Amino acid sequence: MCLGILNFTKKYSNKALEECCKQAIALNKQKYTFIKNTISVVADDLGEAGYRHSTPAKKEPVRGGYVMPPEASSIDTLLSRSKVLADQMREEVDE
């Protein structure tokens, strides 16, 4: 558990971890789960100083490695791509 708690410094600053541990001691909740659930709140309260690499407190949600434009997922576009791929497969089988 100690190593797990110390690994929080990969994302959060030492200051954030220390403050979180102080709160855990003050509340008599010296458990990994308490620290895991509260360190992000403490880091947000500290602002940039709460994070290991100064990352903004509020960032855009991750949507994936590639975000397609809306027209790429239209039914007509998808059907035409499917038809082209099916035709290519038929040509390869015939050869």
Residue 45: inside a domain, yes or no?
yes
Residue 67: inside a domain, yes or no?
no
How many structural domains are present in the chain?
1
Residue 12: inside a domain, yes or no?
yes
Residue 30: inside a domain, yes or no?
yes
Unique residue bearing structure tokens 């960032």: 59
Residue 82: inside a domain, yes or no?
no
Residue 63: inside a domain, yes or no?
no
Which is more confidently placed, 77 or 37?
A: 37
Residue 78: inside a domain, yes or no?
no
The 3-state secondary structure of 6-74, one letter per residue: HHHHHCECHHHHHHHHHHHHHCCCCCHHHHHHHHHHHHHHHHHHHECCCCCCCCCCCCCCCCCCHHHHC
Q: Encode pLDDT of 84-93 as tens digits.
A: 888 888 888 8
Q: Which domain holds residue 8?
A: 2-50
Q: How far apart are CA 57 and CA 83, in angstroms?
A: 46
Would you say 54 and 16 are in contact if contact means Cβ atoms under 8 Å apart? no
Residue 43: inside a domain, yes or no?
yes
Q: Encode pLDDT of 7-61 as tens digits.
A: 998 899 999 999 999 999 999 999 999 999 999 999 999 888 888 864 455 666 6
For 52, counting Cβ atoms within 10 Å of its Cβ (0-12 exposed, 13-18 middle, 19+ buried), the class is: middle
pLDDT computed for residue 28 by the predictor:
94
